[in-house]
Structure 1
């Protein structure tokens, strides 16, 4: 972003001349002589604020190219997958054990039936 600024305006223009600012004297003539007074009431200010408020709101749109957000998302998805995988593995192992026991029972009953026939 700073590079874009330098490219657009040039490096010389983007730097402030601090020595010139130090040497510059603050004159009393640059100050206003009169104090400005507002004739606007508080109710008028509130009404104007209500009218202008929607234009003052700043909405920040997320950039789809923001890789940091994608990396965070990938980490959270990875953690969720690992958690689900560990839970699923235990359930599948129990199911495998039950199926193996059932198949063993069926095999032994088939053998008993073969001997009886």
Structure 2
């Protein structure tokens, strides 16, 4: 979901005048009789950040809605494929939790300093 700043296409450091100008441009571009839902989104964005007090309230109390599909996709994507040999994979399948087989990348006899 877009933030009010993204909806109005202004920065978070924009002045009241810049925000109002961006709002009026959006209203002119998307009048309420052509697309009422989009107009309502633009109007709500303006109401949320139209002055300093509202911007502070927005920053403190408005939380963006989570896009759970995007979060799931991000969580399920592996950054790099695992390169396990068949023998290593077989050892992992047969290993118990207490075995030291899970330390695959460490040397068997580490050198003492």
Which protein has the bigger helix share?
Answer: 1
> Quick one: higher RCO (CA 8 Å, sep 6+), 1 or 2?
2
By the TM > 0.5 criterion, same fold?
no
Report the TM-score when normalising by structure 2: 0.22
Q: Considering only CA atoms, is the larger Rg found in Structure 1 or Structure 2? A: 1
TM-score (norm 1): 0.22
